[in-house]
Amino acid sequence: MLFELKIFDYPNTYWFEYESNEISNYDLLQCKKIQNDNPLIFKLKKKVSEKRLLSYDFCFSDGPDFISPRLATLLANNKDFLKDVQLLDANVIINGQNHSGFKVINILRTISCIDMDKSDSEPILDYLPDGPKRFYKIVFKQDIEENFYMARCLESEGRIVMSDKLRQFFIENNVKGIKL
């Protein structure tokens, strides 16, 4: 069984601005390892409760999404997870303070996971009927036998799915910021 990775209980005031331009969202959609020596920078312009914000394990931005140092440490010990995902260094600036240890998730795997016959979609561009789709209803395939932790959907590369074993890992470790 698989689950879509979705934001949950994450306040709008905690959305970061992506300050780096070395790696784009498009680069991350390619599902290829990225060489980068400098940490990616994220900044929060509004003054917020640092303690409350830093309690979230998944953080969201107008660029790539990233995870907390706590979750990065937990995931870095899982070699099977790291076959599907590359963790890129990130620093965040909150209330003028720099925080290191955060990681951007670069997903390295795609799987065919959307049942196109049961889902409701249409081409984004009329002249590309087999091109990218706009989905109104998504039904995931139930018979996926691939052994994976996290992947992008082949049919909609902006969507990220996780396996039940990763979802259970997140539940057991009280991961905050996504719907479980």
pLDDT of residue 83: 92
Per-residue pLDDT of 129-180, as tens digits, reads 888 888 999 999 988 888 899 999 999 988 999 999 999 999 999 999 999 8
Pairing of strands 66-67, 58-59: antiparallel
Question: Which alpha helices (H) appear in the chain, and where do they start and end?
Answer: 25-29, 50-53, 69-76, 81-84, 164-172
Interatomic CA distance for residues 84 and 48, integer angstroms: 33
Domain positions in the chain? 2-109
Please name every residue paired with 150 in a beta bridge, in sequence order, or none if there are none. 162
pLDDT bucket at 31, cuts 50 / 70 / 90: very high
pLDDT of residue 168: 95
Nearest-CA neighbor of 133 among 122, 120, 119, 118?
122
Question: For residue 1, what are the CA distances in angstroms to 77, 141, 143, 156?
Answer: 23, 9, 8, 18
Strands (E), the chain: 2-4, 17-18, 40-44, 58-59, 66-67, 85-94, 97-107, 110-111, 120-123, 133-137, 150-153, 156-163
Q: Mean pLDDT over residues 103-112, rounded?
A: 95
CA contacts within 13 A on the Cβ side of 33? 6
Interatomic CA distance for residues 38 and 44, integer angstroms: 19
Per-residue pLDDT of 67-105, as tens digits, reads 999 999 999 988 889 999 999 999 999 999 999 999 999
Q: Which residue in the block uniquely carries the two structure tokens 């995870």?
A: 67
pLDDT of residue 101: 96
Interatomic CA distance for residues 58 and 180, integer angstroms: 12
pLDDT of residue 45: 87
